[in-house]
Amino acid sequence: MTIDNISQAKVCGGWHKQYTHQSQSLNGVARFAIFLPPNASKATPVPVLYWLSGLTCTDENFMQKAGALRKAAELGIAIVAPDTSPRGEGVADDDNYDLGQGAGFYLNATQKPWAQHYQMYDYITAELPKIIEEHFPVTSVKSISGHSMGGHGAITIGLKNSSNYRSISAFSPISNPMGCPWGQKAFSAYLGSDVESWKQYDSSELLKQAKSELPILVDQGDADGFLTEQLKPEALIEAAKVHASPVEVRMQPGYDHSYYFISSFIDEHLAFHAKHLA
């Protein structure tokens, strides 16, 4: 697999780099960013935290706004941030921000016209890690995290692939997409009208089915404008009780849905993952 370096910058003693490549899963060109801490080398490969961003975001939002790179450099953790969807000419899209390009929902679409490109689940779980481990000084040890739509993706992917990750965390995740407007719109378009097929991509439904084998940390701001209608952390909390899953949901007073919130607690999330990646 050939990857093309399109930008790079030294930061916190390490390197932030962006790449594009031809993706088989997405049937087109994909982009990702990677932060390599100062100690990463062929002699000392490092573990990886995969970060999944939210609606309308790209690989750039987290790397530029979260303030995570100094702590990641200190802990010796690489961070990989993929784009949030396939993009480009010929890729299906929608006029609204919550469907189509920028809104892949980290699932494998089954419905036309989305199925041709929108295979984000396969891309995140299989194709991207293979590329990262082939081209960079990293180990196969990894954890996963994300924000909003990406928090939904991080939890569902971690739950469904527990042998591939060490820990899961999320900021303001869409915890019960089957029960909120964002999720219902996306799932109807990407997966069709069979609601049973939606359950495989709903964190709360997955936790009702089985106990999480991985520790999960969730931070949610209580001043988040999407809290009640879209995010529904209470559904995740109740689902975790069914099998006593190791899920900690922290409600943070006064915080909203923005990267100001993420940057306030990202160091704690990185420390949480570092403990399990070790």
| Catalytic option among 148, 167, 204, 245 | 148
Backbone angles phi, psi at 24, to 5 degrees: -70, -40
**Hey, what amino acid is at 180?**
C
Q: What is the DSSP string of 5-46?
A: EEEEEEETTEEEEEEEEEETTTTEEEEEEEEE-TT-SSSS-E
| Catalytic option among 224, 245, 269, 273 | 224
- How many Cα atoms sit within 13 Å of 134 on the Cβ side? 9
- Confirm whether 224 is a catalytic residue: yes
The CA distance from 104 to 117, in Å, is 10
The CA distance from 126 to 267, in Å, is 27
The CA distance from 184 to 107, in Å, is 13
- Confirm whether 148 is a catalytic residue: yes
| Catalytic option among 21, 257, 269, 273 | 257
The CA distance from 190 to 177, in Å, is 13
Give the catalytic positions in this structure: 148, 224, 257
